[in-house]
Structures are given as structure tokens and as C-alpha cells.
Amino acid sequence: MHRIFRSFPVKDIAGTKMKMLNWASRFNIFCFLDDHGYAFPLHGQDVLLGAGVRHQYAPKPVMALAGLDDFLSRHRDWTLGHFAYDLKNEIEPMASSHPDLTGFGDIGLFVPEVLMTLSNGALSIGIHGEHHEAVLQEILEAPKEASTPGLLEMGAIRHGKSEEDYVAIISSLHDHIRRGDCYELNFCMEHVAENVRLDPVSVHAVLSQVSPNPFSALYRSGDAYLLCASPERFLRRAGGRLHSQPVKGTAPRHPSDPGQDEASRLALSGSSKERSENVMVVDLVRNDLSRVCMEGSVQVDELFGVRSFPQVHQMVSTISGIPDPALTFTDILRATFPMGSMTGAPKRRVMELIEHYEGFRRGLYSGAVGYFTPDGDFDLNVVIRSLLYHGKTGRLSFPTGSGITFYADARREYAECLLKASAMQQALERAAGKGP
């Protein structure tokens, strides 16, 4: 039986989003994607929700890719889920010595029982049956507000590196760059709190207020939750082309001072240091796409574009190509994952250095979450600016990172990591009823 869609008009978009999330929270698996109304080029779905499991792909480690193409071809339906950073260990292959504490496997995909889209004032419900009105009624009866406070209990936040330890590691990375081991590396540190009790829907609502971003998500897989406020797209296939939009280059916002804010944006746009980081990633993505695209089709559609988000201005470039029709999604994933903006170059060597110096396992952080359409197109984000929460262990983490090149100033890079963490910390303070 094919999925049948019916659309219903809605007037209160924000309230409907909360009703959808409160309704979805009863399910052991759900994925809610929200672009928060950004009208950037290559716009995808406005709001997409998949809840409940009709079919699931949750493979064992080491052989996670073995049945992926078969699963996608057998279930020509809407499919949502994730690809964790440590899938690299199968693609290269490599190994990770740190424990996985996020609770997400290397790959987790599911065909939902219920698929919803919210766009242009209409809620579209897709199910395998005819009980659309019953589902709609359940949503209408759900609360349209989050419970307050959303954060019930949390220990002190522990930063993964002190500033002095961070500076020492960057010095070692500069040595690797001087020796020619690499020329750019995305180095991250993890911010962690233990003994946390929170309501993921409520905290996600606060995070969306503090930091609405075009690739946001609330994703649950069992006891593991992702609360994501990402500004970055990893990879999209639509209109017969693959598109990647790496983000590399950051400057702070100054919302209370428009003149200073514009000066910060212009400084980012003209920064030779930020441009050099961005073009390195662009070259890496071009190389990745050239492995799976038709010869001569890979092109740079936008170079050094600047997008403005609530906390930061970001430098974004767009690279595209025509995928080789003989290749599968797994072929594409092997050539492009993990995304270059979160590794550096050359990719294999910097991932070895990341494993050695970061001191934690990234898990879903710097992986991807997104969806596949019934015709095989897909849109996947980059999991950054995110809270990773495990409901059973009570562990909450939010890694942040920055690109390290030969010219990187360690203390400025440390400050950038803290700037990127500020949205999550602000959301947690508000969720606890302590922030403005």
C-alpha cells in the first residue's frame, strides 16, 4: 500500500509545530526537521516530521553500509535518520579508541508510520491508510506550549579543554602542518554535564527561540536525543544534481549595534584567513564530488557567500555536480563522508589526528541527519551547534570546533569555540528558568 497524503489548513504555524512535537514525543523514534523560514537558495522542506516505525535500518557496527542500498531500494518511501561521524571507521577503514557515549549507532534510518509536512499554511499528513482525521485530531488535542521549565536538573558544565591545554594542542597541530602532514584540521572540544534531567521538546523549543537555524532538528532514537540548531547542509540531491554547502569562516553578531554588526560581516567577507580556510574546504569537496559525478560537471556555484544567523555570521560556499547514474547512495556516501568542513585535509590523515588529539568520540556530532524522498532524492545536514542528551544515563554534551590552519591563532580559536557554545548554554539557562 502506498502512502496517502491529505492536507489540512492551519493558521497558527508556531503553535502547530509545538503540537506536532508534543504529539511525536510519545514515539520511541521520531525526527523533526525545521528550516525556521530561511529562504536561502536550494531551499528544501519547510517542516518535516516522521514518527513511529514502519521499517527500520539499524545495522550492527563494522558492517553498517552492507545493506544500506538494499534497504533504500526496497522501501521507496519517505525515510529519515542519521549517519554518525564514526561511520568513517568503516569507510576508510579506521578505528576509534574512545567510548561512544551519545547512544546513536553509526547508521539509523526509519520509514515512519506517519509522515507530516508543514508548509504554506497547510499541514499534510501521509499514512498507509485512510485515518487522516484521527491523526489530525490527536495533533489538535496536543498542547501547543512546552512545559516550563524544560531543564529540571543539571550538574556543572565541564569544558573538555582548558584554554592552556587547548593552546598546547594547537601548537602540536601547527607542528603537523609545518611537517606537511595536513594543511587544515577541524579541531573540536566537548562540553559535558552529568546527572541531567530535561524535557527534550521544551529545551528544543527554547533552543529554537535562541538560535533558529535552517537545518534544525529534534531527533529521538530510543533513549538518545539530538537537539540540533545547525546552519549547515552536508549534501543534497535534487533536480538531477548533488549540492554541498560547506560552512567555514565565523564572525560574531552584534544585534544591539547595527553598525558594528555590519562591520563584523564585512570583515568576515574580506578576511584572507577565513577565505583561505573556506577555499581549502571547497577544494576538498570538489575533489570528493568529482569521484561520484560525471566528468566536467562539478562546479563552484557560490564562493565566499556570507549568511547571518542569530549568534554568528558564517562564510558559506556551494559546490555541485551531476551524479553518475551508475553509482548508488552508498558510493556517494563513501566518497563524501564525513563532510570536509568537519575534518580538514587530507581527510584520512586529519581524521587520524582528530582521533589522537580530541580525546572524545564524536558519535553523531559532525555526522548528518536528514531525509530521503520516495524518488531517491535526499537532503542531509551537518550535526553541529547541537545538544546530545541520553535520557537513561543523564549525560548531556555539546561539542564545538573550528578550523585550524598554519595561521590560526590558538586563543582566538578557543574563543570561537566558546562563542559557538554560547547558544546552547543560553538555551539551557533559559530552559532552567534562569535566563532572559
Q: Which residues are catalytic?
A: 232, 248
Q: Which residue has the cell 557496527?
A: 61
| Rounded Cα distance, 13 and 24, in Å | 16
| Rounded Cα distance, 73 and 187, in Å | 36
Nearest residue to 129 via CA among 21, 72, 54, 74: 54
What's 59's DSSP letter?
Answer: P
Main-chain dihedrals φ then ψ at residue 129, nearest 5 degrees: 160, -160
Q: Which residue has the cell 543534497?
A: 236
Do 242 and 236 touch, CB atoms closer than 8 A? yes
| Rounded Cα distance, 228 and 420, in Å | 13
Main-chain dihedrals φ then ψ at residue 106, nearest 5 degrees: -65, -40
Partnered with residue 255 across adjacent β-strands are none
Helix (H) or strand (E) holding 233: strand 233-238
Q: Which residue has the cell 531527533?
A: 219
| Rounded Cα distance, 278 and 49, in Å | 33
The dihedral built from the CA positions of residue 253, 258, 264 and 267, taken in this order, carries a sign that is positive
**Helix (H/G/I), strand (E/B), else coil: 93:** coil
Helix (H) or strand (E) holding 321: strand 312-321
Reading phi first (left if > 0) and then psi (alpha if -120 to 50, else beta), residue 84 is in: beta
